[in-house]
Amino acid sequence: MVVSVVAVGTFGAASAQSSDQPPTAVVTYEQQLEQIAVDAEEARAALEAEGVRSCQLTANSLRGLHLQSQLTIDYRLNIYQEIINQANQLAINIESQDQSAAELRSAIAELSDRVTDFTTSYSQYRAEVLEAANIACNGQTELRAVVSRALSALRTSQFHAERVADFAQDDLSEVTESLEQGDE
Amino acid sequence: MSKSNNNRDFTFIAIVGISVAVAIALMAGGIYLYVRPEANQPQDQTQSINETQQPQDVTPSSLRQTIDEQLDELNDDDFDQSALSDEALEIN
């Protein structure tokens, strides 16, 4: 009796674990960004109704921005990873035919390095935005300094993102064209 | 009579003791399944999804098409700096 009751409890725990899995419904990146903006606006309205200080509204805006930036980096990295995965698969296909994919492998390594640069600078931007949210009520001078660092990191990450896109569209595409010419 | 009662008591205590021990072991197992670190890692799930979706018949031209299509999905607004402006943050 005791055993069966506990066994039910054990399976209950296992099913509770599976219900914690993320939902599989497809929600677009833009829809998720929009939802965060709406939530932040609602939180702002609630804070205003409570009569909080303006720095707390600023902190609320920055936290919304931080949430959006999590979506952005996940979305971008998924896209970059999809390109790298396919390029890797192409290299495997070529090598399985006893041909050299050295040039393609080198291009994949360079693209991966550029993605890493983007990840680093965008993560820095996210860290600065979160820091700005946390110190928003410490005084405007301190807030300005952190926001300035966040802007700088954001510009750097944009530069890194452009380097990723440029390399994929120019250099990596060129390598694939030379592979096709080699087949002919 | 008294010895028989003692035997019954001993058997009862033994059954209860074993049941409690088994119950504790099952609870511990259940708790472990629930809280183990690898039980809830979205990265692993993403990775396995990517692995299962990875096409096997990639060609140079299909890779170029993927590059164009995937990069086309990206949004320049991701780097919009206006949300960090003094006005947006209400910094005087």
Mean predicted confidence (pLDDT) in A12-35: 58
Mean predicted confidence (pLDDT) in B61-84: 91
Q: By percentage, how much of chain B surpasses pLDDT 70?
A: 70
Mean predicted confidence (pLDDT) in B81-86: 89
Residue-averaged pLDDT of chain B: 75
pLDDT digits (tens, 9 = 90+) for A133-171: 999 999 989 999 999 999 999 999 999 999 999 999 999
CA-nearest of A90, A162, A87, A84 to A121 is: A162
The structure tokens 């197992």 sit at B29
| Window A:50-89, CB contacts with B under 8 Å | 54, 57-58, 61-62, 65, 72, 76, 78-79, 81-83, 85-87, 89
Where is pLDDT greater, at A181 or A147? Answer: A147
DSSP per residue, B28-73: HHHHHHHH-GGGG-HHHHHHHHHHHH--S---HHHHHHHHHHHHHT
Distance, in Å, from the CA atom of A164 to the CA atom of A158, rounded to the nearest integer, reads 10
Q: By percentage, how much of chain B surpasses pLDDT 90?
A: 23
Q: Go through A113-129 and write b for each residue having 16 or more CB atoms within 10 A of its CB, e for each that does not.
A: ebbebbbebbebbbbbb
Distances (CA, A) of A142 to A133, A138, A148, A154, B68: 11, 7, 10, 19, 42
A26 touches chain B (CB under 8 A): no
DSSP A25: -
| Length of chain A as a residue count | 184
The pair of three-digit structure tokens given for residue B5, joined into one six-digit string:
């009662």
DSSP A23: P
Q: Which pLDDT does position A18 carry in this prediction?
A: 40
For residue A173, the one-letter residue type is: S
Residue A107 confidence (pLDDT) above 80: yes
CB atoms A17 and B63 under 8 Å: no
Residue A118 confidence (pLDDT) above 60: yes
Mean predicted confidence (pLDDT) in A34-41: 86
Mean predicted confidence (pLDDT) in A164-182: 92
Packing angle of the helix pair A2-19, B2-35 (nearest 10 deg): 0
